[in-house]
């Protein structure tokens, strides 16, 4: 209704309120966009500023007494171990789930099944943590003992197995469950975009469904799968609660089935609420390291996706 009032004004060429409205609105939109850029830089800036005292502190004052590097190194490795376990489990299953929904499930069911997998992503991480600590850990005690007895000669299964099941392997499995829906939903989108003509041509030439997928779908989706896995990696690296609740932490060890190891995110969550002084700066520095690692992983993943976007039309 009010638009009709505006028309004669604008038509008359007066410096109408509409023009200032335009300016204010576009200005606000631009400011919001700039704010996002500013926030990301602010995140980096404030973390760096608050982390600085750690780097100038005497090596003996840092936790562990040997300087920041020897403090951060074990938990960086612990973070990588947990994320690696998660990806080793979640990647094949996630890709297969995506394939199932895009190419195997009956059309009428596919959408509903997609929602079901997305439900996995909707469950809060603290609930996964509680589930992993109570249900999963106690059920994995026996398998861990078996592993320690029969495969104990492999360093990663070195005994004695944890009596509670709260190990880095359990944490990795919980992380895998949390990463799985990310990988599954991203790769599903890619699989659905695979050119239909190629698939139909393959089937028409007598290929079985699996041969069609191998020839016409997987090569097309390779870049998408890699970037989905990278995004999953970013999530697994930064995930806090699953590890904080599930893992009974300790120093860096090779065995995955003994209590030990720690990740950056869990270390921060466990210690930050009580931290003050240098310890607080130390944890913020650890957060900065985590931020930089995930930033690098995410940037590479996005770069692959964007490059893939340009190709996908031409395919």
Min dist CB 124 to other proteins, Å, is 3
For residue 313, the surrounding DSSP H or E stretch is helix 278-314
Residues whose CB is less than 8 angstroms from the CB of residue 149 and which lie 6 or more positions away in sequence, other chains included: 159
Long-range contacts of 56-60 (CB under 8 A, 24+ apart): 57/278, 57/281
Min dist CB 193 to other proteins, Å, is 15
Find the binding residues for other proteins in span 175-214 (CB under 8 A): 177, 180, 184, 208-211, 213
CB closer to other proteins out of 32 and 314: 32
Q: Where are the alpha helices (DSSP H) in 100-136?
A: 107-122, 125-131
Segment interacting with other proteins, rule: CB under 8 A, options 141-149, 160-168, 253-261, 301-309: 301-309
287 sits near other proteins (criterion: CB under 8 A): yes
Burial track 48-73 (b if 16+ CB lie within 10 A, e otherwise): eebbebbeebeeeebbeeebbeebbe
Find the binding residues for other proteins in span 230-249 (CB under 8 A): 231, 234-235, 237-241, 244-245
Separation CA 59–CA 311 (nearest Å): 51
* Member of 54, 170, 199, 298 binding other proteins (CB under 8 A): 298
Whether the CA torsion 253, 233, 136, 272 is positive or negative: it is: positive
Min dist CB 103 to other proteins, Å, is 8
CB closer to other proteins out of 36 and 60: 36
Min dist CB 155 to other proteins, Å, is 27
Find the binding residues for other proteins in span 83-112 (CB under 8 A): 92-94, 96-97, 99-101, 104-105
Find the binding residues for other proteins in span 56-85 (CB under 8 A): none
Residue 211 tokens read as: 């041969």
Residue 227 tokens read as: 């970037």
Q: How many residues bind other proteins (CB under 8 A)?
A: 96
Find the binding residues for other proteins in span 120-149 (CB under 8 A): 120, 122-131, 133-135
Contact (Cβ atoms closer than 8 angstroms) between residue 240 and residue 124: no
CB closer to other proteins out of 17 and 315: 17
């Amino acid at each position: 209704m009010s638009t009709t009032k505006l028309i004669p004004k604008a038509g008359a060429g007066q410096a109408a309120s509409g023009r200032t409205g335009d300016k204010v609105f576009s200005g606000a939109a631009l400011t919001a966009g700039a704010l996002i850029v500013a926030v990301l830089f602010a995140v980096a800036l404030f973390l760096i500023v608050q982390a600085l005292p750690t780097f100038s502190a005497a090596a003996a004052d840092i936790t562990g007494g040997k300087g920041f590097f020897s403090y951060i190194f074990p938990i960086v490795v612990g973070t990588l171990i947990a994320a690696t376990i998660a990806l080793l489990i979640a990647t094949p299953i996630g890709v297969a789930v995506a394939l199932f929904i895009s190419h195997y499930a009956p059309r009428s069911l596919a959408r509903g099944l997609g929602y079901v997998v997305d439900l996995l992503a909707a469950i809060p991480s603290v609930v996964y943590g509680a589930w992993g600590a109570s249900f999963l850990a106690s059920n994995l005690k026996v398998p861990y003992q078996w592993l320690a007895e029969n495969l104990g000669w492999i360093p990663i299964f070195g005994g004695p197995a944890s009596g509670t099941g709260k190990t880095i392997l359990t944490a990795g499995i919980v992380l895998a469950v949390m990463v799985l829906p990310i990988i599954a939903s991203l790769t599903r989108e890619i699989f659905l975009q695979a050119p239909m003509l190629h698939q139909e041509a393959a089937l028409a030439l007598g290929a079985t469904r699996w041969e069609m997928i191998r020839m016409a779908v997987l090569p097309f989706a390779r870049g998408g799968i890699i970037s989905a896995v990278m995004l999953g990696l970013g999530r697994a690296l930064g995930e806090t609660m699953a590890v904080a609740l599930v893992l009974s932490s300790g120093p860096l060890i090779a065995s995955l089935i003994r209590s030990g190891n720690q990740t950056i995110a869990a270390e921060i969550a466990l210690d930050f609420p009580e931290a003050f002084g240098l310890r607080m700066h130390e944890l913020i520095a650890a957060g900065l390291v985590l931020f930089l690692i995930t930033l690098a992983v995410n940037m590479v993943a996005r770069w692959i996706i964007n490059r893939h976007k340009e190709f996908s039309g031409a395919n």
